[in-house]
Structure 1
């Protein structure tokens, strides 16, 4: 058994101490298994369909077209969807989708789908009744008896109510309302506190891209020792990591591609904090050279690079359901194998960017600044 660092003393460490830094992978390399020492586990697709785009700002979502698109993703083997109680109609869309699967394909097909939702409560007093009613609302919207995964977000660490919430969520998991319990945007310090309290966390969803390598600084060490995996978002930076933005001038209105979605605006700010547009262009062109070598897209290279990082179980690709799809690019992610030269070339550009831990803080700190 490996030595447990960081003062871990919880029972789960005995269970996972022999695990490697790479995600637990099922027989199909497209899949990963996230689990805790409590014995609960969930198999997910390593490319996760992100549904933030249903919340507005990316174009109107038409329900029937969106559900048709979800079925196409499911049929392509991309069976895992990431949603949240605050993503507009995302949970309701999942409910319609899962019902169509049951009706048209049968219950056996429906149980293969994965809905990873989030609970993002307002900073209010946490009671058992409040937590349970919130979870019941998501179960009703998604039309499931048991949530595959509940990813919990907390706005303010000075309010220790997050530990109360996690205790109630753990109780609800034991009662069968939640299959696996996870976090989203928690920093390393709080993740370690939670793990040391024997709370059965299976994953932490964090921002992670070629520009934002913060999860590999300190959080990776906690994950390696606890067995907690990372599910990443922002991996293609809302589309910035694509051919569309090679040689693009975004500083002059109408001179280049518009930064016209919430995600493009958000991740352009990350580029500014990391090293600016000129260095980002070098990163894009390096990724383009690697992409051309393998006959894939820049975004495919970007996702593959992050999936190959320690402790990463899955990475998000945003889907504009019924508007645009990336099925071919997502399929290519599974086929792509970056060689040592590819990794070194990309890494040499990444290393020239600023340390975002020093500029922004740890994972999720960007959401907790005044």
Structure 2
């Protein structure tokens, strides 16, 4: 296959980054652009060639099990996971570094096998991430890491393995991905994906014929960096986006409308790792006053449709053509947002709604210039 990174004259169908392009005819190779239609608007399919996975468009994010959001009782957490699955939200996102997340999934999937029909169990999807420490990516090390996740999650085959890499100057990420591709062919992984990779590295990975189905990135009405470069590559290649930070840890909610975090003991506190993380993003984007203007705009739209601010924020991101699913964090056994999640699929944003959101969002600073491309905040 001709190099996807060859220099060429750019046009509207191949433009990506300066002096780097992909032709549509070259790329139809692996990323099955003709995708099967999902069974309903609450489901989506990610696919590359014969690798295919159906997932919930609203995904239960399990970062909150790693500490900092309150003590998790394992049995209460598993019961909460079952309630989410019963409600139709049967895709769970976790990582090897999210505390007990993979073990909780293992407990949960066993409960499903015991208490639900086989067809129901087949609809459950566990998406995990592998976040290795910098070191030589040997076959033995990669396979041992994947086997550990399989054991924790109590599954023969991982539905999706999302790979993260810390340092692009170390090209060992290609070695790791080639070993992961071999493990996929051997039946230990069903679909192979990325998390927090930028557009340039996704180019390189696809050019190396690694069968990537999705890339998990930060994406919200505040952080629209994936629209800049990543979405165009996804459109050409068929790789889909799975998004996190879409409700900004809860900042995009009625709770923070009219609040002032600079006043101690007044109003809601930034008392979780995710709230603190995304408050920093707000500060970089445009500050709290502009954020309040955005919340007011979202509130007006949410009132119009009879839904919450969070539902509007998620719907906006799900409406982006290259987005397969968006994460909603779950504090298992402590609180949930099932009713909000259901409502996401019961209304539609009209052109005026999206124009009003874009108008305020674009008043903020260009985070692409400040932070860099998707995932650059981790490097």
Are 1:140 and 2:151 an aligned pair? yes
In structure 1, the residue matched to 2:204 is 193
> Structure 2: how far apart are the matches of 1:25 and 1:60?
40
Residue number among 32, 35, 55 corresponding to 2:44 in the alignment:
32
Residue equivalent to 1:7: 21
* Between 48-57 and 6-15, the greater mean CA deviation after superposition: 6-15
User: What pairs with 1:133-212 in structure 2 (closer than 5 Å)?
Assistant: 133-212=144-223
Q: Deviations over 1:151-205 (max 9, x none)?
A: 0000000111000000000000000000000000000100111111110000000
Residue deviations 1:43-82 (CA, integer Å, cap 9, x gap): 0000000000000000000001000000000000000000
Query: Partners in 2 of 1:14 and 1:135 — Cα distance?
Result: 27
2:33–2:238: 8 Å Cα contact kept in structure 1? no
- Which residue is 2:359 aligned to? 348
Check conservation: 1:206, 1:232, Cα contact below 8 A.
yes
| Pairing partner for 1:281 from 274, 289, 292 | 292
Moved more, 10-19 or 201-210: 10-19
Output the CA distance in 2 between the equivalents of 1:185 and 1:162.
Answer: 13
Matches within 5 A, 1:14-93: 14=29, 16=31, 19=34, 25-37=37-49, 39-93=50-104
Structure 2 counterpart of 1:320: 331
Task: State the distance in 2 between where 1:67 and 1:25 align.
Answer: 31
Tell me, yes or no, if the aligned pair for 2:244 and 2:327 is still in contact at 8 Å: yes
Residue 253 (structure 1) shift:
1.5
1:307 aligns with 2:318: yes
Equivalent pairs counted in the alignment come to 363
Shift in Å, 1:112: 1.1
SS across alignment from 1:268: helix
Per-residue CA shift, 1:233-291, capped at 9, x if unaligned? Answer: 00000000000000101012212211010000000000000000000000000000000
Unaligned runs of 5+ in 1: none
Cα contact 2:106–2:153 (8 A) shared by 1:
yes
Is residue 292 from structure 1 mapped to residue 266 from structure 2 by the alignment? Answer: no
Task: Select 2:270's aligned residue among 259, 268, 271.
Answer: 259
Task: Measure the CA separation in 2 of the matches of 1:13 and 1:195.
Answer: 12
Q: 1:323/1:281 Cα in 2 relative to 1: closer, same or farther (>3 Å)?
A: same
Do 1:216 and 1:310's aligned partners in 2 also have CA atoms closer than 8 Å? no
Does the aligned pair in 1 maintain the 2:61–2:92 contact within 8 Å? yes
What is the aligned-residue RMSD (CA, Å)? Answer: 1.5
Partner of 2:6: none
Secondary structure of 1:140's aligned partner: helix
Q: 8 Å contact 1:11–1:198 — kept in the other structure?
A: no
- Counterpart among 211, 216, 221 of residue 227 in structure 2: 216
Unaligned runs of 5+ in 2: 1-11
Contact 1:273 1:356 in 2 (8 A): yes
Distance 2:189 2:278 in 1: 32
Name the CA distance, whole Å, in 2 between partners of 1:14 and 1:165: 22
**Contact 1:185 1:206 (C-alpha < 8 Å) held by counterparts:** yes
CA separation in 2, counterparts of 1:62 and 1:330? 23
* Residue 25 of structure 1, CA deviation: 3.9
Q: Hey, what's the Cα distance between the residues in 1 that align with 2:372 and 2:142?
A: 29
Deviation at 1:107, TM superposition (A): 2.9
Tell me how far 1:310 sits from its aligned partner: 2.4
**Matched residue, 1:120:** 131
Deviation (angstroms), 1:31: 0.6
Measured in 2, the distance between the counterparts of 1:4 and 1:216 equals 16
- Name whichever of 251-260 and 293-302 sits farther off: 251-260
